[in-house]
Every structure is written in C-alpha cells, then in structure tokens.
Structure 1
C-alpha cells in the first residue's frame, strides 16, 4: 500500500492479495475435464459401493483414488469426480495408461475383488473414460485476468491448484523471525506450508505441534480478481497414529511436497486403507512412506492390545515424529496452546511482501464512518489529567484497582421491567433450582451484583419468594437434586412436582428457571461406557421438561474438571448464565435502543431486524437416516413509541408460528429436531424445501409486522446453498435466473418473491476464517502534511473494502477479550511461539512466571458484512454499521459477538436444544495428558 496516494484516515492491513496474472507468472497445470457421461459412471460406481458396504463406507473409492493419485503425481494432484464440472488436475502430466490402471484397481478393490485377480487388460468403462479424457496444459494466468465489472468465474480446478506454485515460492525463502532466526517452510500437497523442521515442543518434552500456513484462493464480493488469503495456525501432533484422522508424511526424495494422508478405520485402529497399498503394489510405485504409516499403526495397535490384556495404562512413545506426524481427530487436551498470535501474522505478511514483491496487490480497506455504542461494561472515560492522578495514587498506595473501572455487566433493573411490561407481564420471577450449596451461593452472589444488594439483607428460605427489585423482579430457591443430578431411571417430572407453583406463570408473572447442571463423569458411573454418558446428562432431559411447561431455562455448571466450583471473586460463568436467561425470556433491555437510535440519516431504528439460522444436523455414529435440517429465526421489532422497549419474536421449522421469543424457543425445545421429508429425493430438493419454509415464514412475519419494513440477516456458510443470490458469483443476478437448471436454487434471496412484503435488504455475514481476510494491523494517516503514519496493532472498527464495482462490502475487526482484556498479557503480540518464554519457578512470587507455550496466542478476527439490496448507498452503509453495532452490543455477555443480536438469538435457540449435545475435550488416549489442564469445546 502506497501511503502517499491515500486520503487521510485509518487503513486496515490484511493477509489478502489480489491474485492477478502477474502474481502467478508462467505457472501451468495439467487438467482433464471430465464429461457428463464420466460423471454418471462415477455416480453409478459410488452407488455400487454403497449397496455393497453401506453408507459408512460410501467414500472408500474416493479415498483410494486420491491417495493413489498423490503418489503417482508426487503429491500435486487433485481429483473431483462430483459437481457441475468434474476434473482431475495435476502439476505434472499423468501417463494415460498408468491412470487407467490406477482407476481399474480402484474400481475392482472398492467392489471387493482380490488385487491379484484384477485384470488390468480389461478395464471398466469408468477407468477407460477417465484415462481417455484429453489432458490439457493450462497457464494459470489465462484464468485470472478478470472481466471488468464482473465477479471472477474461474474454473474450480484453479482454486485447488493455484497454491502449489505460490507455496513453493514462499518456501524458497526462509521465514525470518525478529531475533534473526530463520524458519524452514516446506510446501504441502494442499498448496500450503508446514514447518516440520522447526516444530514447537512443550517444556517437559515429548509433545509437539507444528505451524501450518494456509494459501487459499477465494472470491470477495464485487472484486474482479480472485483473492489470495494467507493464514497460519497451530496443528497439534498426536502421540499416536491410531487415534488420529490424518497424518503429515515426509516423502522420500528431493523437492516433493509434504503428504497429507487421510486415515481410515475407527478410533484405535486408524491406518492407511489396505486397498491403497495393494493398488500401489500392483502399479510398482514407490509407496514406502505409506508402508511406514501402516507399520506404525500395527505397532501401536499391538501396544493397545497389550495394555488391555495386562490392564495397564496405555502410553505411546514420546519422541520426535521424524517422518510421520499424526494430527488428532478431535481437539483433545494438549500441552501446547492454540493460535500463532498477532506478531507471527505480521511477520507472515512481511514474508509474503518480500517474496512476491510488486506482483502482489494488497487489498485496500479504509475505516467506515461509524461510531460504536457505549456499552455499560466499557471502561470509564477519564481525562488524561485524572488518569495520571489515579496512576500516581495507585503507585503510592500499592492498591491494584483498575485506573478505568468497567461499568456494570448487567442491564438496569428498570429496563428489565420495561421489557417485561412490553411483553404483557407485571412481574418477573426467577426460580433457582439447585442441588449443591456452593451453586446456590453463586446464584445469590450474582443477584447481589446484578441488583446492587447486600447478601445479609436477603431472605433466602427454601421455597420462599424474595424481592430483588421493587416487587417487580423476584427470585425463589428450590433444592431439587432428584430433578437435576445426572443419571437415569428416575422420574424427573415427579421430582419437579414439588416446585410446580413457583414455575407456574399466572397473574401476570413471567417465570424463568435458573438450574444447576454438570457433565456426567465416568468415575461417578462405573461400568458405563464413555459413549453412553450422554444418556445420563440431566440438562437435555430437564430442559425438555421445563420447555413443556413453557418455562425458559438456563444452566450453571456446578462442577468442572477440578471439582465443585466455589463461590468467590468475579464469577463470569454465573453472570453470563443470568444474562443468557434474560435472553431466553426474550428480554431486550435499553442496550438495544442505545445501539440503534440516532446512528445515521437512514432510520435503522424504525426497521425490524430478522435473523435466520440454518444448520445441517449430521448423523452421529450409529444413527441412521438422512441428515436433518434445523431452521430457527428471530425478529427484533421496534417499539411503537421512542421510549418503548424493543420486542423479540421467534420461529422454528419445528413450530412454524411467530410468537414471543420465549414461547417460540420453548415450543422448539419441546420437540425433537425435524425429520427430513420422505418426498425430497435429492440434495437440491432438500434445500429448496428449506428455503420454501423460510419464504412462508417471512410472509407470515410481514403480516405480523403490519407494514413495518424489515431486514433479513443470514450466515453465508449455511445459507448460500438455499439461496443462489448469496453466492459471490451470483451477486446482482435477476430472480428469473434462479431455478433454471437442476443445480440452481428456486430462490434467489430470502423473501425475494414476496413482492411488496419482501425485505428491505438482505445482510449476508461471513465469519469463516478460511474465507474472510485475516487482519494484522492498522495505519492511521493524519490530515497534516508531513505527519508520520501511526501504526496500531489492533482495531475494533468497521472498514470498507475498496471494491471494483457494485456495492461495497465491509469488514468488522474483532479483538478477542482474552487478548485485550484486563490481565490478558496479550500473548503473541510481540513474540512468535518459537520465541515463547518458559515458566519460572521461584520462592519470590514476583519472579514466578507461567510458561507461554501451553497458553493460547490470540489474533484479530473479522466479520464480513454485505448488505444486498437496500434503497441507496447511504442505506447500505447504515445497515452495515447497524449490524456491526448489534455485534458490538450483545444481550448475553459483556463483550462483542461474531453475530448480531437477531442472528445470535436464532442460533442460540438451536444450541440450547435438548438434542444439541454438550461436549468436553478429554485427554487423548495414551497421550499422558489425563488430568492436565486443556481446552474445552462448547
């Protein structure tokens, strides 16, 4: 970016470059573009495999074919037999005779033939057609020029192959650290980079992780060239191969990329597919690296069998992996943290700039004119003079209070009452259901923080309602262990009967339940298989019972990995649980109006804002049937008077009626996830049916709103398979183009067919780190001539992408609370993991220090905001700012969220469903990390 040619303002730097012909130079690839008949033969072949082995093994031929092709091509090859334009692409040409033999063996082995009896002189039609498909050499630059005023429409094989040459160029120059140390990067078969020669190791030794750098080609809205996105991450290395999903493998010979090999089999038996080894053996290829993986799997399985036989603890050898680096299938506990940190990403940007030089055109992003709403939890504003005085006072007295204390996390009691009244109730009662006194004390402590009360002044007798605020907000505690404790075989409905009076909503009382919970532990249920612990979890069972009583509920964990959680200090989990209970009740306090009122000339505060959440519930192990589609939606509706409270409506595909959010969520939680329709026979029909449901829901909402205009916000990842108009390549197309062939959706955009009841605009969000540019820093250019640019490490502002045509797109930068919060330490802001400081043990507490390697290094994230439609550029900018402000000001905790309030509330309906299971990342079997601190997944 040439700062001399830019207007004054703040500019965001990202790891994103326009992929122009100059960037790829004279790189070429070899492509076989498969015709329709070949694609049909592959579909028939897949059907034969499904019939023979069942759906679990349906992808076996694909695994065999891709792994064999990787060996044949030296690694740089990709096979895509499905989709609208199937292809086979490789860096080097592939001999057609060898290719025919490879697919002949794949075909026979997948259908159960013995490898030695497969006649290579009698290939099946599928193998013949693939081998006879003409192989053409393409120059990548021919597909990157970009049509002026149009989205890129490059072939799919380009996106899979462009990274091969670019990664080799990035690997040819050592990655330079600030201390002068050089890190060797190796290209891998995905078109990325991996630092296998310089792995990260934990302090006690024997556990490893490696840096992987992604080099991806994507598109951005209204940018005529594809965009090259770089990013780096920590890939933790497993102690065992047999519990891993993939393995990185160093190929013999010079100049070959690192293989990424998919492993087959269930947990504890993962290995290279036997058919792959057999096929390569018949082809007389060098597959020694795959044999090494198979032999290691055999050794580990024998270790496991021995440990079982002698009832010993399973422990795998701890040593540098050398040639084979297994990557675990799950996010198990690991002594090396996640994330590479901001400093690493800035060094990566400098590395790419140095390698690509003038051939790389950076994306330009300038700060949008948006002010963020002041949140109750934001630090107090003080003058520089007052700040200095407080600092001197703290140094003199030695006290540790913050110089800019934060405000209350909780909304005002008056605004809670206003929202309750808007919903048609006179009073809010919170029923606290508990079975450990520690949890009861934590709930009580949280009430004191929320309403400014003294614990000594509260009457908390069992089953007796007590006042929290002017008789309009009350609470009552009930000891109900038989209802709440984990286990099976008990009548939880009967156990709840004793407290039914407190849960009954009558005489204008709105009721919510705040319940204690815990994840069932195997130690408490000897003889129960770990896979059956989910059935003992009380939370989904009790949540469903409360939902049938039309009582919204939220849960507070009373016991964690370290034991019972004691009251004391800032109890953030309890505080967040109470806020989330307010959300489940549909309470929208004054923070919503503060975030929306008076933000721009366009009246976003007089619109309703709808969030539509879509998710495919895939089958778990042992389940049968097609995946289920879950759809939930909410509508944030403006008050009739400026002083009134916003209201929140809800809807779900299970109970497709708009109603107050609390009732919609309860109706949704009362029923299991919807089963797929027996009438839908294809992928396209399934998602068209889902879009049709949303279309009807929006039509019903328009009637409910009675003329109030509305917007619809959706997540790009889940929603674009329902609406073609959300895809970058389809932006701006007319509705008449939709549904013209079997691969296109019947619907262009949500609500587009509703005529005058259609949404004012559709707001597409994208939070996928693989598709959104990674922010690294900000430059502030002042207005004064000769003023030096000011560099900032992070930003929480909204930036507008400099697009080539059409409407703009915006990026909202997010700084994780764990990076920027009080006492966070900003790990990764000044050092990479290669420079991580070790722990220091000392009798002097001031000299003690935690090691940095086990901790998480954080970086900025970004949310892409694209308003589609809208009456003007001013309106679209206002809608993007509105979306950013509703991400910034949440209902459920003290900081920013990746989704704005309406979409978050819709998504949370799903995440809170009784069938949405909770998970904790356990220690990896045989890793030696049992009982150690690790990460959990929500």
Structure 2
C-alpha cells in the first residue's frame, strides 16, 4: 500500500467563511477601473487582485475578490475568514482607490456601505452531481485551503521528537517562522531558510469529495531586496497589527533611481487605517531580520539546498491525519489477474539496457528514417570542449571506424551511417545577433544535403550570473532556420576539470544522449519495455504525445499564447521492425522528429490565445491524429498532459471524465483511439510519501519506505481507477548523501552533519495515469503501456516524469527559442 500526502475533505469538514456579495454598481466601477488599468511594477496585474492584496495587509487575514463563476460574468464576492470592521473597510477601499487613480476620487467605498458579510458554509457551494463526481464554484478551491491550513496550524508538528509551530500567514500558507533552518557562511553569518506548508484543494478521479494535497517547500531567505518579489512581515499584535503578512514587492522609478516598494500601496493603506506603520526601507532586511523576511522569485544560488525530503513529508502526513481526523489517500499495488497473478513490471532491468545507443543500433535507427546518413556538427569555442566531445563520441564509434582527429572542417566517419565534423566559431557563439547565413558561411557542412540529417552540438559559455543576454536562444533559432536541431553543452571552468583521465564527463554524456533524442534515435529498449509480460503491446500501434500549454507574457502589450505540440512513435513488437519518431508541423504534416523539431524552433511557439484558441487547438489535434502517416489499421494511444488540456477538452476534467469532449472526437475513428491523461505536477496529484508494506525495510521504523518504481492503483467511489507510478530521483539513489532527507528532517539534523543542509533533499514523486477512453486497448493495457514509457527513456538508462512521446513534446516546447519569452511578435495568427 502506498501512502500519499493527500486527504479527502467530506462536507462536514469544509467549515465556514464570510462572504460579502458586492453590489453590481461596485463591480461595474471596479471593472471600469480595470479597463483603464495600467500594468505597473508596484501593483497586481488586475484591480480586483490589487484590492484584495491591500485589504489583506490591513486585516492580516486572507482576502479574495473573486467571481462566483468566471471573470466578468455573474456575482462577484469578497471572501475572508472573519468580518472586516466596516470603518477599516471603508478607509482602506477609499485610500486604495485614490492611490490607484492618482486623484481624490471616491466611488467605490460609498457603494459598500450597508453591505454585510454573510457567514457561509462552504459545503453549500459544493455539488455532487453523481457518485464519484464533485464540482465546486471556482472560488471555493482558492479559499478552502484557508480552512484546512487553520486546522493544521492548531497544534505543533512533531518532527522525530522536536515540536515545530507553524504560523498561518495572510495567504493561507503555514510558515515555520520561529524555527528557521540555518547554515553558517564563511563570513561568520548564517544563511537562513523557512519551511512552508501549503494545502492545495483539488479533485480526484472517482472521488466524490474535494481533496487536500499537501505541499512542503523550503523558502530560502535573502539578505537584500534585489529581485525580491514577496516578503513576510510580522505585524502581529505586539506590532500594532494582527498577523504574519505575506505581501508582494514591486518597484518604482523616480528621479533618484529604482526603489523597492511594498506592492498595492500596502504600507500607505495600513498607515491610513491607524495601524502601526509597516517596517520598510532599502536596508529593512538587515534592520529588522526577525520581522521582515524575503525571498527571490527565481531559484538562485544559496548556501542551503532545496527540498525537505520524504521523512518530513511522512511526519507532516501523520500530523495532518490527526489534525483532520482522516486517513491519507492510499493506492494499492497493481497486479495482473488470473493464475500466477503478481506485480506488473514497468521497467526493464538496468542490467539489460546499455547506458547509450550502441553503434550498430544507431545505424539501424538512422536507416529507419527517410535519411540514409547522420551528420553531427559540433560548433565550439575552446579546444577543451572539442576534446571532450571527441572523447564522448568514442562510445558511439564503430570499431572499424578510425579514431577522430582534432582537425576542423574535416568530415570524419563515426559509424557506417554517421559522420562528424567540427568548427571553431567562437565569435558567433557569443553573438546574440547571429543569423543563419553567418552560421552557414562559417560552418558550411550545416547546409542541408539530400539524404543526410544534420544535428548540431553547440558550446555555450554563458554565465547565469552575467547580465549580458544569453546567445543560446538566437543560436537555436538560426540553426533551426537551416533545418538543424541543436543541443548545447557548457564550457567547463578550469576549476572543475578532473585530473582523473578515467573520470566520466557527465555533461558531455548527457548532451550526446540528448542529441540522440533530437534525432529520434533509439534501440530496442522501448520495445523491450512495452512488450514485457502482462499487458504487453502485441501489435503495431501509434503512441502519440499531446502537449498543451498557455504561455502568459510579462510584457505589458504582449498577448498570451497557446502552445500545442504533438510527437508520435510508431511502435512495433516485431524486433525486425525499428520504431520511428515523428513530430507534427501545422500546415506541413508529420515529419521525422528532427526535421519537425527544427521547423517548430524556426517558427512561432504558438497561436494567440484568443476567443477561439481552444476550438482551434482541438481542430489542430484532430487533424494531426487523422493524418498519421500510413498504417491506417494500427490502433492509436494518445497520452496527453493534464496541465492545460482539461480546459481544452472537457472529457479530461474529473467532473466529466470520459463523458465530455476528448482528443479525436472530430474523427470517424474516434472510438478506436485510447486517451490517457497524464499528470506529474506535485501539487495536482497526491504525492507518494511511504510504502506501508512489502519490499526491503529500514531498521529505522520512522524512515519512509520508497515506492520502488512500481505501479499502484486507486479505485474511486464509482469504480473509476487512477494509476500511480511512484518514483525516486537519481540524486536520491546516488548514495547516503542523496538520501539524507529520508534519514533526517531539516529540524533534527545532528550538528556534526550540518553540512548536509547545503545539499538538495529530494522527496518521492509520482506520475498519475487516468484512462479517459480505452479505444482498442483494455483500460489496464493503456495505463501500463503509458507507465512503461515513463520507466524507460529514448536513449539513456533512467526514468522520465512523462511517457516518451509526451516527454519529447514537452522538451520540444521548453527548448523553443521563445519559451517563456514575452515577445509580442512571437505568435501566429489565430
């Protein structure tokens, strides 16, 4: 049995909150202010969010201004945990409006006079339309976590004999304020971090209640305000306030330069309401280290490592079980039925897999594509990197091929079908203005040739601490315009060079394995995985990954983009027939993976997320599924990530799972297509924390047992099943240092092991598989095949969080030159 850090929330446990139904005139005035709202760096992106932040600062309690259904439609509610003093509410709203408008306008506050809070049972806003189904008004998911957090904070958490009190902050998160994690710096000061627990309210397939998923993180504190986006301020009663405030931080430009300010006019409004001023200033973190604590938005270098470890999660789960008076959600081992029933294996034994693709297998994979040859072009700036690449390629060299020489611009054979050529183009590799013509001029073997696929391995020396733009994005796009997919490898600093000639160069190994992924090359490892006994793939099939993501820009005038990426593997259980990998290019169709990837990286990352974006995405996916090349009789198994797809296809949501719209519905053969929803987001699905029985056990009874990479199943109230593949990271499996989070908690680490605070403490994670439609597969086969494709990557020994075709689609998106970029022009019409 697999325990998780998740709990059901039955109706009687949902509690009550105070709701202010906002008058229509107030809502219209707020929306009118929004139409003239200008995105600035000292306030939220929308007025309703800015107002909620300001009221949170004044009341010290969570406050949300949310629509009952969707923005711009129906009632709008102001929700909080306790009634707000009417005088404070009027002063705060009036002051906020005047600061927003930059005038003495007072429209909003008078409209709230006479509006009284209504004590509301959250259970009244939750519906159960059918057994195993639950639906709630959208605002409930946001505010219910406050109720759960308050129950969890009622008593200290016991970490192996040490009690730690968590305070409830104004966002509804739990913060170990009085027990910071510390690690001495060389200068004699202490680096600090704070543990934070956040309850996330979710639904689960087949479960007729809302569930709570616990997420524990380590927030690493900063000593200065540079790049800080949020702060905690202790504004408790001894400081003239009432709570531990979590407030946004922005900046303003004036004649003296750029200054950091508390967002949404929080400091001004707190003062206007007669409360003690909030401490603030350029040196506030040094002047008030026990009252004000800040962290950066990005995961930058810090003396304290990331993560809390699985032992902490197990202690939190035990605490939550008592606080919520509930048992954690559990999964049972999935076994095959019938005679000789036993556990269903999902992973080929490591001893049966090469850590890289062997030369003869590489040639076979190349021969299966429409290209007869592969050319690897390495573009470097230093002789050290050229040497590292030559040494790394030795594993792929056929014994009958000569050893490559350091000569530049000379094509040299690696296998019967593979050749290598190198160029030294240091100036171009650091040029953010580089273009395809310049690259082709300096490295002519990049130019396309009939029957030859070209891939590029490119050196980059960009320092993440350097303020100069990184040239990787323009380089990748310029290469893609030449039809060349690219992989980057960082210059190794002299201080990291190993004196051991036998030492493994892990960055080069990883880069070359990723180069094989770009080419769509694999050997028998994927076939071996999906043809293991019990639920084996027994016929040729299409295995399709569909990745959907909404990219929200940061630039004021840029528009959001909907990214849609499809990758397909044609799988065949016959060992004599190699697998092929393809990528869909809108307007062109399915192309071999490397060519499709280059075309994608040379074009817009997605289509503008306008009114018809979801309908257009459905049409694009159906068009792609309906045009898979050849093999018309082969069944199709679609694996789609859950992140954004549930809004595109209603049949992927828990509320309408399998009954609403699904990928392929626009095709005559839709019923024959299996659709499996994949989720690996740690705050969307129950996190594995402990295998309660079976397997090798530790002598320490309080140590969590790892999930062993097996497949587990949960059966809901209506019989709907969801599968979970538990997983440990490579770091966790690397040795006793990697497992320190299972041996200790950060609060109970022995003094002599204090150095371990600087290490990453990885916890157990999982991937959830939900079969929305089984098509020509059985439900069990569809889930098992998807799980097996997580347990065996394309070209290396290891695991991925998503099945191979979906993993390839997601990585293609993340490698796009405009991934997470805010350029307005990087969209295609529609």
How far residue 758 of structure 1 moved from its aligned partner, in angstroms, is: 5.9
Select the residue among 336, 349, 358 that pairs with 2:304: 336
Q: Which of 172, 180, 183 lines up with 1:199 in the alignment?
A: 180
Deviation at 1:901, TM superposition (A): 0.8
Instruction: Determine whether 1:615 maps to 2:549.
Output: yes
Return 195-204 or 444-453, whichever deviates more: 444-453
Q: What residue is the counterpart of 2:827 in the other structure?
A: none
Contact 1:372 1:888 (C-alpha < 8 Å) held by counterparts: no
Cα displacement string for residues 679-732 of structure 1 (whole angstroms, at most 9, x for unaligned residues)? x4xxx433333333323333333x755232212222211222322222222324
Assess, with a 3 A threshold, how the Cα gap between structure 1 residues 161 and 256 changes in structure 2: closer, same or farther.
farther
One of 121, 124, 142 as aligned partner of 1:160: 142
Which moved further from structure 2: 908-917 or 213-222?
908-917
After alignment, is 628-637 or 104-113 more displaced? 104-113
The residue correspondences of 1:661-740 to structure 2 (distance < 5 A) are 661-674=593-606, 676=608, 680=610, 684-701=611-628, 704-734=630-660
CA distance in 2, matches of 1:752, 1:671: 28
2:34 corresponds to: 46
Give the one of 194, 214, 220 matched to 2:198.
Answer: 214
In structure 2, the partner of 1:510 is: 453
1:474 positional shift: 3.1
Note closer, same or farther for the CA distance 1:32–1:219 as it changes in structure 2 (3 Å cut): same
Alignment of 1:744-893 (within 5 A): 748-757=661-670, 760-780=673-693, 792-822=705-735, 824-837=737-750, 851-871=755-775, 875-893=778-796
SS in 1 for 2:608: coil
1:202 deviates by 1.5
CA shift, 1:675, in A, is: 5.9
Distance, in Å, in 1 between the alignment partners of 2:552 and 2:393 is 39
SS of 2:487's partner is: strand
Alpha-carbon distance in 1 for matches of 2:56, 2:432: 50
Offset of residue 414 of structure 1: 2.4
Deviations 1:789-812 (A, max 9, x none): 997334311211131115211111
Query: Does structure 1 residue 584 correspond to structure 2 residue 518?
Result: yes
Residue 93 in structure 1 maps to residue 6 in structure 2: no
Are the aligned partners of 1:837 and 1:852 in contact in 2 as well (CA < 8 Å)? Answer: no
Aligned partners of 2:434 and 2:358: how far apart in 1?
40
The alignment yields a C-alpha RMSD, in angstroms, of 3.5
CA drift of 1:184 comes to 1.8
- What residue number does 2:339 align with? none
CA contact (8 A) 1:244 1:327 kept: yes
1:243 aligns with 2:227: yes
What is the match of residue 905 of structure 1? 808
1:173 and 2:155 correspond: yes
**Is the CA contact 1:73–1:90 (under 8 Å) kept in the aligned structure 2?**
no
For residues 702 and 167 of structure 2, what CA distance do their matches in structure 1 show?
35
C-alpha displacement of 1:759: 6.0
**TM-score, L = length of structure 2:** 0.87
Question: 1:3: which partner in 2?
Answer: none
2:171 to 190, 201, 212: 190
* Matched-pair contact (CA < 8 Å) for 2:43–2:264: no
DSSP-derived class of the 2:216 partner: strand
User: C-alpha distance in 2, partners of 1:777/1:522?
Assistant: 39
Partner of 1:66: 52
Cα distance in 2 for residues equivalent to 1:562 and 1:614: 41
Distance 2:626 2:27 in 1: 40
1:643 aligned residue: 576
Shift of 1:603: 4.0
- Residues of 1 paired with 2:182 and 2:145: CA distance? 28
Q: Would the alpha carbon gap of residues 429 and 851 (structure 1) be closer, same or farther in structure 2, given more than 3 Å must change?
A: same
Q: Which runs of 5+ in 1 are unaligned?
A: 1-10, 301-315, 381-406, 524-529, 735-747, 783-787, 840-848, 920-938
- Indicate the SS of the match to 1:512: strand
CA gap 1:427/1:488 in 2 versus in 1, 3 angstroms: closer
Q: Which moved more, 1:752-761 or 1:214-223?
A: 752-761
Change (3 A) 1:345 1:152: same
1:296 corresponds to which of 260, 268, 281: 281
Tell me the CA shift for residue 36 of structure 1: 6.8
Measure how far apart 1:134 and its partner are. Answer: 5.6
Pairing partner for 1:224 from 208, 211, 215: 208
Structure having the higher strand fraction is 2
Change (3 A) 1:915 1:716: same
Cα offset for 1:418? 1.8
How many residues in Structure 1 have an aligned counterpart in Structure 2? 796
Q: C-alpha displacement at 1:574, in angstroms?
A: 1.0
What CA distance in whole angstroms lies between the structure 1 residues aligned with 2:101 and 2:82? 30
CA displacement at 1:455 relative to structure 2 = 11
Describe how 1:250-265 pairs up with structure 2 within 5 A. 250-253=234-237, 256-265=242-251
In 2: Cα distance, 1:459 partner to 1:632 partner:
39
* Paired position in structure 1 for 2:505: 571
Contact map agreement 1:558 1:565 (CA 8 A) in 2: no
Deviations 1:139-185 (A, max 9, x none): 3455669565142223334333333343333323222222x222122
Does the 8 Å contact 1:586/1:662 carry over to 2? yes
Q: 2:390 aligns with which of 426, 441, 444?
A: 444
Q: How far 1:592 moved relative to its partner?
A: 1.7
Aligned match of 2:320: 352
2:63 matched residue in structure 1: 77
* Distance of 2:162 and 2:702 partners within structure 1: 29
TM-score, with length taken from structure 1: 0.78
Question: Quick one: distance in 2 between partners of 1:423 and 1:918?
Answer: 33
Contact 1:431-1:503 within 8 A present in 2 as well = no
Q: In proportion to residue count, which structure has more helix? A: 1
Per-residue deviation, 1:837:
4.6
Kept in 2, the 8 Å contact 1:73–1:91? The answer is no
Residues 634 and 499 of structure 1, relative CA distance in 2, 3 Å threshold: same
Q: Secondary structure at the match of 2:135?
A: coil
Match of 2:17 among 22, 29, 46: 29
Q: Distance in 1 between matches of 2:534 and 2:773?
A: 18
Q: Tell me by how many angstroms 1:777 deviates.
A: 0.7
Does the CA-based 8 Å contact 2:398-2:414 persist in structure 1?
A: no
Q: Deviations over 1:754-785 (max 9, x none)?
A: 23256612221122221111211102269xxx
Cα pair distance change 1:719/1:488, threshold 3 Å: closer
* 1:295-329 Cα deviation digits (max 9, x unpaired): 334x46xxxxxxxxxxxxxxx74x87211111222
Whole-angstrom distance in 2 between the partners of 1:573 and 1:276: 47
* Counterparts of 1:870 and 1:772, CA distance in 2: 22
Alpha-carbon distance change, 492 to 710 in structure 1, aligned in 2, over 3 angstroms = closer
Distance 1:432 1:585 in 2: 15
Q: What is the Cα deviation at residue 902 of structure 1?
A: 0.6
- Deviation of residue 856 (structure 1)? 0.8
Relative distance call for 1:724 and 1:107 in structure 2 (3 A) is farther
Q: Is the 8 A contact 1:482 1:495 kept in 2?
A: no
- For the Cα contact (< 8 Å) 1:649–1:660, is it kept in 2? yes
Distance in 2, Cα, partners of 1:145 & 1:64: 30
Alpha-carbon distance in 1 for matches of 2:4, 2:536: 30
Which SS does the other structure have where 1:44 is aligned? Answer: helix
List aligned pairs for 1:97-136, cutoff 5 A.
99-114=89-104, 118=105, 123-124=107-108, 127=109, 135-136=117-118
